[in-house]
Amino acid sequence: MDFLTLFLVYLCFVLLVTALLCLCSGRKESFLARSVTRASQVLSLVIPTQLQRVAHRVAHGALHRLFHTRSCLFVVLHIALQAAVFGEYTWEVFGYCWELQFHLLLLLLPYLLLAGNMGCFLLCSRANPGIITKSNHASLVKVYAYDGVMFQRGTVCPTCTLEKPARSKHCSVCGTCVHRFDHHCVWLNNCVGASNAAWFLLYLLSLTATAAALAAITLSFLSHVVQLSNLLHSTYLDAQGQEHPVEIPFLVQHLFLTFPRIVFMLGFVILLTLVLGGYSAFSLYLAFTNQTTNEWCKSRRFGASHHVSSQPPDRQVVYKNIYSKGIWRNLKEIFRPPTALEKKKK
């Protein structure tokens, strides 16, 4: 049971780090920054004032560089994690499975998914997400209608000094306004907008499929090992010399002691599959309903109470998504973004 406790702590730690990275990315005042501020307030009772100022400056400077400036750090981390997982898969799991006569196509499936995922990653990270410039501003203003609640005509971006087209937003990380802005992804070091939303969706789905394939093959390998060794029908002696039938905790501990790197990799890819699977489901929901992450987050606030200046102050305005045209047309818009010319023809 000591091993299981350690393994659960490991899984919780990975999940916590992943959740913190998701919460912190692309926000002006991140959850992590607020946590650091609260912690510094508590520590201020015992730490000298001069040391507090230095620590505060260093911590906030590091957080700002990590999450609010363009940096390749998360791209390198992303590639390093994939290299570590596939290195372990190639070094041990592939060889063991080949000896157990697994089908070759099944063993090559993760590599095929990885190739597709890396292709989508490069296309999404290197693509222009839909940056609004003076040359294309006039045409982009005509693509989407203003809903009068979330997007209002005449709103000017104070940084770009251009009227914001409907569904656009200024990205403080990239320093530009992006057409049909979804979010800024630190893992891609790029914004997700109208021009690369399709590649991002494919990248996310292929990454989820890759993690799921690795987890399934590794689980299948370990189950074969258990069946061949007949462990489930065996017994073991405890510290007092008493005989007990093999149960799941003992079995997991035995597999970890026999294949420690494989079991750790399996725990990581299972957790990754769950996290990415939830995010993929959410992204598909947004695609089916023709919403962006930015619009979905804003609509949560508008659902409570929001007043438009042209209406009486005592009247609540409920946000309604006017951009949804049905699942098929919504998906088509993701993969073939509309232009002002197409809208005029319709």
User: Distance between CA 78 and CA 60 in Å, rounded?
Assistant: 23
Q: Rounded to an integer, what distance in angstroms lies between the CA atom of residue 6 and that of residue 121?
A: 34
Among the listed residues 24, 185, 191, 297, the single catalytic one is 185
How far apart CA 200 and CA 120 sit, in angstroms, is 7
Tell me the C-alpha distance between 276 and 224, whole Å.
27
Torsion over CA: 130, 135, 136, 142 (sign): positive
Q: Where are the alpha helices (DSSP H) in the chain?
A: 2-24, 31-43, 49-67, 73-88, 94-99, 104-126, 137-140, 197-229, 248-258, 260-288, 293-302, 327-335, 340-345
Phi, psi of 248 (to 5 degrees): -60, -45
Q: Which residues contact 20 (CB under 8 A, 6 or more apart)?
A: 31, 32
Q: Is 120 a catalytic residue?
A: no
Burial 28-38 (b: 16+ CB within 10 A, else e): eebebbeebee
d(CA 149, CA 143): 17
Are 166 and 132 within 8 A, CB to CB?
A: no
DSSP at 321: -
CB atoms within 10 A of CB 84: 13
**Active site amino acids:** 185
